Amino acid sequence: MTAKCVWITGASSGIGLALAERMMRDGWIVAGSARSEAALNDLAEKHEGRFFAYPLDVTHESAAVDTVARIREERGGLDMAVFAAGTHIPVEIEDFRRETFKSLIDINLMGVVNCLAAIVPGFIAARAGHVAVVSSVAGYGGLPTASAYGATKAALINMTEALKPDFDRNGVKLQLVCPGFVRTPLTDKNPFPMPFLMEPEDAAEAFYRGLQSDRFEISFPRVFAIMLRCLNALPYSLYFRFLKRGTGK
């Protein structure tokens, strides 16, 4: 049997890297994309024959199309795509800048849109394939300092929900992934306590189990995700009261 191939964006660090390593242990071939060509080449050398480097800036639409074409040609096909590329810039009202929002929208939201546009036609034509869009529990509702980041993640949730019936009708599996706090180079910069903080390996295990399930949404840690869902179901008067108690803002 030929090993299945997964394309993972954001594969050079954080959740993307942890998931790539977990899937390789289970026999998958990983076509990994990120902006850092050096980091990807190091991974390709470390996992020779299992990890293949496809450097990509997801904000470049034509580059995403070219990358998908290369993967299909060089790896003999593509079975799954996981769009994990993204970043976070905290926003304080004293430093509220348009540029911050544009940067995060270009990377977190339009980066996924560019990659979807590149891969969906092939999956639809084959009536097969599997796509996982990585959002965040920060997309459930507004959180302090996350006005830009949360807005992009909320948009991804809405977009993925809206696309689900179309994907189902065309035989392509679509899942939404909403992680909580995972120890990554990005979260290491957070100046506040992070409840239910997960190690990347544990997050990757939960992620991979979710990919093998029939659930639309994959969220982890589950308790934290449920707590935030419940919080966002409260009237705003209670929501902001609990938010202030939990964050001090």
Please enumerate in sequence order all residues whose Cβ is within 8 A of that of 129, keeping only pairs 6 or more positions apart, or say none. Answer: 78, 79, 80, 81, 119, 122, 123, 172, 173
Provide, rounded to the nearest whole percent, the portion of the chain with pLDDT above 90: 84
Confidence of residue 248 (pLDDT cuts 50, 70, 90): confident
Beta-bridge mates of residue 7 = 31, 81
- State pTM to two decimals: 0.94
> Confidence class of residue 112 from pLDDT cuts 50, 70 and 90?
very high
* pLDDT (tens digit per residue) in 194-244: 777 889 899 999 999 999 999 999 999 998 999 999 999 999 999 999 888
Which residues on adjacent β-strands are paired with residue 112?
A: none
Q: Which strand (E) or helix (H) includes residue 235?
A: none
- pLDDT, residue 197, reads 83
Residue ranges of domains in the chain, CATH in brackets? 5-222 (3.40.50.720)
> pLDDT (tens digit, 9 = 90+) per residue, 36-90?
999 999 999 999 999 999 999 999 999 999 999 999 999 999 999 999 999 999 9
Mean pLDDT, all residues of the chain: 94
Residues ≥6 apart with Cβ < 8 Å to 29? 3, 4, 5, 6, 50, 52, 75
Catalytic residue status for 239: no
pLDDT at 1 over 50: no
pLDDT reading at 97 higher than 60: yes
Q: Give dist(CA 90, CA 74) in Å, integer.
A: 39
- What pLDDT, in 10s, does the model give residues 178-187? 999 888 766 6
Tell me which of 140, 149, 208, 239 is the catalytic residue: 149
